[in-house]
Structure 1
Amino acid sequence: MATHRRVSSSSPTTPDKVFLEACDVYFRHCHNKPYGFFSAKLFKIKVAQNQIPLHLRLALIACATRYSSRSQWKERKQSTIDGYARGAWELIMSSPDGLDSGEDVSLIQTLAILGVIDATAGRRRGAWVKIGMAVRISQDLNMMGEPSSNLSSLEQDERRNLFWSLYLLDRFVCCSFDRPPAIKDSDCLLNLPFNHSTTKPKSALTMHGLLSRESFNKSQGSGLFGISVGLASVLGRAVKCMMTTRPDSQAPWHKDSEFSTIHADLEYLKELAINNAPVLAEPGQPRSQNDMEDTDREQTAHMVLSHTIYHLTHCILSHPFLLALKTQNYQHPEIPSSWLEETRATCLVHAGSLITVLVEAKAAGYMPVPSVYSYCILFASTIHALYLYSESPEISTGSAEYLRTALDYLSEISELWCNAQMMANALKSFVIQCSRYSDILLCHKPRLHELTQTETTILTAVVDYWTMMDPRNPVFDLAPFNADNFPDFSDKEFGYLTPPATSGLGDVMVSDDSLDYSTPGHKEAPSIDPDIILHYPAPMMSPIQSVDGGSPHWDWDNELDSLTEKR
């Protein structure tokens, strides 16, 4: 019987091999994709000086564990992730100092990582609490404003990027009905992140300056991280515009409405994204393979992110169900038919472009992908599901192919993210009902009154990120999936339509070379060795030596239980 031990709050005497392996995996697969919780250079220094607290070490290892493709992890990967994450959380909660850690930002970093882990595992309230705590602590440290000049440049950059990463995370989890974000745009006086591989602008740029288009020269460039933040702000406004019960003062087709203003801001930021896109490597061109830093790789990740947010925001603004909810609030004798037709056509184009961006990026080597992309591709797919039975053979055929492509995508990444398979199943359930939904929502005057309460609940659930993170979401209870009723997309009725070759955002393309994480001559990205990670952290482990002298075996049940032992 293994002896249970209390988790020590102190760091090991020296950085061990396992933690360094975990760091390598984290910075290769997670850093700035899209969340930049750390400065890579500063992190290296802290590791060398043994200044990484144990709660952060455990959180990083929990995060890195996800990216192992070894077969022996398939059945126990999530329990391992949860075990290390629980250990990190309990260290924080049991600390004598509580949440008072002075000016150190490591607690914020740990909470942010744990929030993502909880969200993707379907523990919504835990994620909400941890992300909220991270935001509040950052506000307590006045991270909404510029860092103190007493800090080093590396520390200033880390705080700036950490706060804006929290901002992105906050906006993503609030893609939901009547769920306000924790960070207000008006409180954000901090300069935007900047891409240090380009020429630095003469003056720093805040989010307000970016969106108000003041003091900005397009030729100088703001960096795609900053543009992604601007797009996330517009995304939040679109969610508030389309997913709240409060009507706007102006009808959405009015030129002075918030709906029209959001459209204009999106096109402005689209132009900036195109102008600031990284220069992609030519095929066969050798590339740097620095394990901790690869600016081009991170820039490409933010390029994909900016494209994705741009298309998602357009989809939210024009989704047939959300549009029907929006327009029913206005006492108007007639919805302008030209406006409605153009808006729906735009919606379909952006839904296809969003799927194409993510599928092309994945095919080019942009793996692993952020978990939020599962929601993005689900949202776009619900639009194509509504057009699956269109009277236009071209539209019907195209939507069928996009749906097939999206389901393949969600299935392929489900090994990384539990919520991807959950969303794939929800999409299949939704598709079965879409013949009726299409008839009600895609006519000139949507007949929302004909929807039953159950149907309204399902339509609301499939576009709500917060609901779709719940393994017990109503789609499965109210519209269970029946494989016998699911359309066969290979049938002649739907045929095939190859998705467009472009990303739908200008001429910017995803290059295979720009996204290759591997060493020359290899295509598979490295993953952490489970035999190594099992030995960490040294003070907590009691591996059983193997008979043949090979890698020690691990007493999973007893040791994982020890992480949650009550103190």
Structure 2
Amino acid sequence: MDGSLESQQAANIKRARQACANCRRKKTKCSGERPSCFPCRRNQSRCVYEPYSATLGDSNSNPPPPTAATTDNAALLERISTIESRLAALSEQSHQASSVSPPQYNQIDRRSSSQDAEPAIRAFGSFAGLQTDHFSLPPRPVLRSVIDTYFIHVHNQPYSYFQEASFRQRLESNLLPRCLVLAVLASAVKFSTHEYYAGKTREATEKYARESWMSVLTEYMAVEENMNVHVVQTVNLLAIVDYTAGRVSAGWLKIGLAARISQDLHLMKDPDGWLSYMEQEERRRTFWSAYLVDKLISCGQNRPLCILDEDCMLQLPSDEETFRSGDWKKTETLGQLLSWNTQVVEKPSAFALAILMASIFGRCTRYVHHRRADEIPPWDTKSEFSAITSSLLLLESYSSFEGRSISEVMRNQEQDPQEIGHLVFAHALFHLCHCLLNHPFLVRLGLKPFGAKTPTSFPSRALRASCDHAKQLLDLVQDARESGCLVESSFYAYCIAVAGGIQSLALSLVGDAAASIIDGRNQEFMQYIQQSIDWLERLGLLWPHAANMIVRLREFHAQSYRFVGLLSPTSLKDDLDPATEAVLWSMIDYATLGADLRKRPMPSDPGMPHVPSPTSWDLDVVPTSFDTATNLFTSHTSPVRLNEVDFFLNSSPGQNCLL
């Protein structure tokens, strides 16, 4: 027994990574990457891995005498070799056919595609029972249809990983790893209208995402030094799928993993010059997309960033026309764009502007969610508040909007249609930063250390700024949609929920800070609150976390009258009640706002009254009187009232969390 164990261990030690046929023939060192190794990519050669039986003879050691077991193994290996040879021949024929007559993806015959997919559609009924040990891709016509959907609804919204023509060519040649193809399917199938997924888009998304993740674990994480840029792209896509499905922790961990892998591959530096311009730009865009995801989902407490601005030494993405043509263009780095002293010869690309605003947004969220006791008041020019506000003006100096509406820019055809989505997203982040910096709750926290020294005009100006930018944010997405833009990014749900929460909160405030802003505008505030609900319902058809935000915004609006004294000068020195503070944090913490509703605790007080369904609350009903005895901003609040508020904000009927 010991001898056989030792011999098996020795065999495992001697077994080397299999080299591809080209590297073995040229006697060069093979990196072993699949589907294409490094030398083959560099030489633009077709990379083929022969069956293991064809490489067993490379060992210099003398073979052991044949036995019955080895004879059976040899026969089995010979059969496997025959099968793989036939598959390789079929793959070669497909490759030759595609090189002679490349498929026209935008002109696929939908009628023939539906006919070809009919057997698979009938088989889709057993989709739920499919085992994870072998998960097949959809039929070719269906796959092409979903890829079409991906490049319409997901690509540049706002993340960008692939050059479309190159991606399609590699897909047809079977040169893309299976985990990446599955991740792309998981990202796009929710937008698909193909009959193959009729009534099963949510189920298909989960299946594709789960199988893609298992493929990453088994084919890459379990193998040393087998990472490549495709793994970063895959994990990034899966992180968004998890986070938007309400699985906040899973998404958070995946984006951290993608960030570490990208750093291990040195993607934060400009790529090697021997790579093609297309590959260089894809690597840059993959890193900047990981950077973008990291900045967006870190908008919450206890969510530190993985990628720091000072570690990003590569240039920003080029414009879409340059990327599509496969050319190269010199662009600025993020540090250069963030500096007012940089002399920019050409305006940054729309994607670069989105990254610039994400950087400022990351700085804003660190200030909002991870602030310590401020020694410098926000109205001081040396404060972080003033520095962030100043940085936001960079968008005005770089943007091509120049104060015009999106509809006007699109009407004049001044911008590449693929870039409009990035421009809209950049301006949405601009307004969101102002909403957070001037949020009534966060302003109160920032003013508390200074007490009576607070200028009376500062809370009023901050409230006006937050309301105005919340209104402009909602007008922006509405104008974009009416102009034909796709406003479908998952992060828009958070932007809209924050804007709607500010409108609801401002409607309930009383006192000197709110008097000049709220008077006579009740109907306008109600209109924008309803618009926020409508937008979240639209996005909730695509993104589960948006559906969760609908319930939370309705609950918050139903209880917003309890925050009437939030900016009252007499209450600024008082501590907020812990339950009230948790409620207010929940409306600006991205993880809490979109988390799965079914995981919220139920009230512990058995005497609590029945709470109506959030969908039955009438948004047009504005409280006209307030119970002054229930002041939630001091420690003298009634325990019964605290339980009531906690129940309203931390529970909801189970049927309302499902689409």
2:330 pairs with 1:210? no
Deviations, residues 394-447 of structure 1 (Å, cap 9, x unaligned): 33221111001111111122111111121011000000111121x121323554
Could you tell me which of 461, 466, 484 is aligned with 1:365? Answer: 484
Deviations, residues 324-371 of structure 1 (Å, cap 9, x unaligned): 11222x245421122222222111100111111122223333335111
The letter of the residue matching 1:182 is C
Deviations, residues 485-504 of structure 1 (Å, cap 9, x unaligned): 834428999xxxxxxxxxxx
Residue in structure 1 matched with residue 502 of structure 2 by the alignment = 383
Residue in structure 1 matched with residue 464 of structure 2 by the alignment = 345
Report how far residue 68 of structure 1 moved.
2.7
Cα distance in 2, alignment partners of residues 462 and 475 from structure 1: 15
5 Å-filtered alignment, 1:460-475, equals 460-472=585-597
Cα distance in 2, alignment partners of residues 96 and 486 from structure 1: 50
Residue in structure 2 matched with residue 520 of structure 1 by the alignment = none
Cα distance in 2, alignment partners of residues 305 and 192 from structure 1: 17
2:364 pairs with 1:238? yes
Residue in structure 1 matched with residue 529 of structure 2 by the alignment = 403
Could you tell me which of 529, 539, 542 is aligned with 1:413? Answer: 539
Residues 395/100 of structure 1: CA separation in 2 closer, same or farther (3 Å cut): farther
5 Å-filtered alignment, 1:39-78, equals 39-69=163-193, 76-78=200-202
Residues 128/96 of structure 1: CA separation in 2 closer, same or farther (3 Å cut): closer
Deviations, residues 174-203 of structure 1 (Å, cap 9, x unaligned): 110231111011101111112154899985
Residue in structure 1 matched with residue 239 of structure 2 by the alignment = 115
Deviations, residues 237-287 of structure 1 (Å, cap 9, x unaligned): 11111212413442111011111010011012233124689984438x8x9
User: Which structure: greater helix fraction?
Assistant: 2
Cα distance in 1, alignment partners of residues 598 and 338 from structure 2: 36
Cα distance in 2, alignment partners of residues 461 and 482 from structure 1: 19
Deviations, residues 140-171 of structure 1 (Å, cap 9, x unaligned): 01011111111110011011111111111101
Greater displacement, 273-282 / 336-345: 273-282
Report how far residue 7 of structure 1 moved.
4.1
Q: Secondary structure at the match of 2:521?
A: helix
Could you tell me which of 158, 161, 165 is aligned with 1:37? Answer: 161
Residue in structure 2 matched with residue 427 of structure 1 by the alignment = 553
CA contact (8 A) 1:428 1:481 kept: no
The letter of the residue matching 1:268 is L
Report how far residue 132 of structure 1 moved.
1.1
Residue in structure 1 matched with residue 255 of structure 2 by the alignment = 131
Cα distance in 1, alignment partners of residues 147 and 465 from structure 2: 42
CA contact (8 A) 1:176 1:239 kept: yes
Residue in structure 2 matched with residue 247 of structure 1 by the alignment = 373
Report how far residue 473 of structure 1 moved.
8.0
Cα distance in 2, alignment partners of residues 206 and 481 from structure 1: 53
5 Å-filtered alignment, 1:42-191, equals 42-69=166-193, 76-95=200-219, 98=222, 100=224, 102=226, 104-191=228-315
Residues 248/342 of structure 1: CA separation in 2 closer, same or farther (3 Å cut): same
Cα distance in 2, alignment partners of residues 354 and 473 from structure 1: 30
5 Å-filtered alignment, 1:458-537, equals 458-472=583-597, 482-483=613-614, 486-489=617-620
CA contact (8 A) 2:431 2:472 kept: yes
Greater displacement, 219-228 / 229-238: 219-228
Greater displacement, 220-229 / 71-80: 71-80
Residue in structure 2 matched with residue 222 of structure 1 by the alignment = 348
Greater displacement, 88-97 / 47-56: 88-97
CA contact (8 A) 1:432 1:485 kept: no
2:445 pairs with 1:336? no
Cα distance in 2, alignment partners of residues 142 and 8 from structure 1: 33
Q: Secondary structure at the match of 2:366?
A: helix
Residues 212/162 of structure 1: CA separation in 2 closer, same or farther (3 Å cut): same
Residues 322/142 of structure 1: CA separation in 2 closer, same or farther (3 Å cut): same
Could you tell me which of 275, 288, 306 is aligned with 2:426? Answer: 306
CA contact (8 A) 1:317 1:323 kept: yes
Residues 135/205 of structure 1: CA separation in 2 closer, same or farther (3 Å cut): same
CA contact (8 A) 1:379 1:463 kept: yes
Cα distance in 2, alignment partners of residues 256 and 473 from structure 1: 44
Cα distance in 2, alignment partners of residues 264 and 436 from structure 1: 34
2:382 pairs with 1:256? yes
Residues 428/448 of structure 1: CA separation in 2 closer, same or farther (3 Å cut): farther
2:436 pairs with 1:316? yes
Residues 475/97 of structure 1: CA separation in 2 closer, same or farther (3 Å cut): closer
Cα distance in 2, alignment partners of residues 260 and 296 from structure 1: 34
Q: Secondary structure at the match of 2:597?
A: coil
Residues 43/233 of structure 1: CA separation in 2 closer, same or farther (3 Å cut): same
Report how far residue 484 of structure 1 moved.
9.1
Count matched residues: 479
Deviations, residues 467-521 of structure 1 (Å, cap 9, x unaligned): 122113898857966559834428999xxxxxxxxxxxxxxxxxxxxxxxxxxxx
The letter of the residue matching 1:465 is Y
CA contact (8 A) 2:150 2:187 kept: yes
Q: Secondary structure at the match of 1:66?
A: helix
Could you tell me which of 400, 403, 411 is aligned with 1:282? Answer: 411
TM-score (norm 1): 0.77
Q: Secondary structure at the match of 1:388?
A: helix
Higher relative contact order (CA 8 A, sep 6+): 1
Could you tell me which of 576, 579, 591 is aligned with 1:454? Answer: 579
Cα distance in 1, alignment partners of residues 435 and 600 from structure 2: 21
Report how far residue 308 of structure 1 moved.
0.4
The letter of the residue matching 2:411 is E
**Which structure is larger by alpha-carbon Rg, 1 or 2?**
2
Could you tell me which of 377, 386, 394 is aligned with 1:268? Answer: 394
2:425 pairs with 1:296? no
Residues 407/484 of structure 1: CA separation in 2 closer, same or farther (3 Å cut): closer
Q: Secondary structure at the match of 1:88?
A: helix
Residues 352/39 of structure 1: CA separation in 2 closer, same or farther (3 Å cut): same
Residues 74/449 of structure 1: CA separation in 2 closer, same or farther (3 Å cut): farther
